[in-house]
Amino acid sequence: LAKLDGKVALVTGGSRGMGAATALRLAEDGADVVVTYLGSAERAEEIAQKITAMGRRGWAVRADSADPQEVRNVVAAVAERFGRLDILVNNAGVGAVGPIEDVALEDVDRVLEVNVRAPYLFAQAAVAHLGEGGRIITIGSCLANRVAFAGATLYAASKAATVGLTKGLARELGPRGITVNVIHPGPIDTDMNPADGPGADFQRGLTALGEFGSAADVAATVAHLAGEDGRYITGAEIAVDGGVVA
Ligand code: NDP
């Protein structure tokens, strides 16, 4: 029996990067997995097909995290189609860099909508379906705890908010047997932050290990929290950052 047999997971932003790696890892561990995406329909479909090829149920759904109705609709659709929801992974996120004078109001709104409001609304919609053993796992950032360079204020503020969300919800949902945690990745090689990008060497220098992590590194920690092994971990911030905050 695989660890997550019979469980249903919803991974937001599962078409690329950490979300895609997480979706595949949870399926490998036995779960049926739904991924959301915004623009990358083909890549999301590919992930869903890979999950199906593993013998699990996979489903890719376009749902803009910035749209509250789409958030609610996709959670309801998962519950209807699969009859349950056990694991919510709030992964979809958007970056924003630049000096505070240059950040437009639309950027502020977009980052807060996708990185803060959406995880809240996904959790709010999911609690109607999560039962004993349920899991809410949010992808924060090491920038929630240490901002080692200028220009990331908005993004850091949005990721710091995931900590309050996590701790508050852990208290609220603990009595129902649901755990809530946040993972803080460091530099992870994805489209958002390529290991050969202009700021990559600087970021390597911030780590203790001297290298980027992979999306699979983060997915492995999600899988640990999602399974029975994670049952006594809640309200926690878990760094998968190569030592950035060390
Ligand atoms: P990527 O940019 O590689 O992938 C982002 C994913 O989120 C894509 O699947 C994208 O969908 C989806 N997405 C973005 N906006 C929306 C939206 N409005 N609605 C639905 N889906 C959306 O990011 P990463 O894998 O690097 O990042 C994953 C998470 O990790 C994010 O929360 C990010 O902030 C965080 N993080 C990343 C770090 C890094 O170094 N990479 C470090 C610390 C934290 P589509 O393909 O359709 O656009």
Q: Measured between alpha carbons, how far is residue 55 from residues 28, 32, 41, 49, 52 in Å?
A: 9, 9, 22, 10, 5
155 catalytic per annotation: yes
Averaged over 151-178, what is the pLDDT? Answer: 98
- Asked whether the whole model's pTM tops 0.90, one would answer yes
Select from 116, 139, 165, 202 the residue to mutate for testing ligand 1; criterion: most ligand atoms less than 8 Å from CB.
139
Q: Note whether 144 and 159 are within 8 A (CB).
A: yes
Return the best residue to mutate from 159, 192, 237 for the ligand 1 pocket (most ligand atoms within 8 A of CB).
Answer: 192
Grade residue 1 by pLDDT with cuts at 50, 70 and 90: confident
ipTM over 0.95? The verdict is yes
Q: Which atom of ligand 1 is nearest to the CA of 212?
A: 40
Taken in order of first residue, the domains within the chain and their CATH numbers are 8-240 (3.40.50.720)
| Ligand 1 centre distance from Cα of residue 1 (Å) | 31
Which of 90, 188, 238, 245 to probe ligand 1 with, by most ligand atoms within 8 A of CB? 188
Mean pLDDT across 90-105:
96
Residue-wise pLDDT tens digits, 212-224? 999 999 999 999 9
Distance from the alpha carbon of residue 223 to the mean position of ligand 1, in angstroms: 18
Angle between helices 118-126 and 68-82 (to 10 degrees): 30
Name, in order, each residue with C-beta under 8 angstroms of 239's C-beta and a sequence gap of 6 or more.
142, 145, 183, 184, 186, 245
pLDDT tens digits for range 47-76:
999 999 999 999 999 999 999 999 999 999
Question: Is a pLDDT exceeding 90 seen at residue 2?
Answer: no
Whole-Å CA distances, 171 to 18, 165, 167, 175, 177: 27, 10, 6, 8, 11
What is the whole-number distance in angstroms between the Cα of residue 241 and the centre of ligand 1?
16
Q: Give the CA dihedral 219, 239, 93, 173, nearest 10 degrees.
A: 90
Can you tell me which atom of ligand 1 is nearest the CA of 218?
Answer: 30
Ligand 1 center–CA 175 separation, angstroms:
31
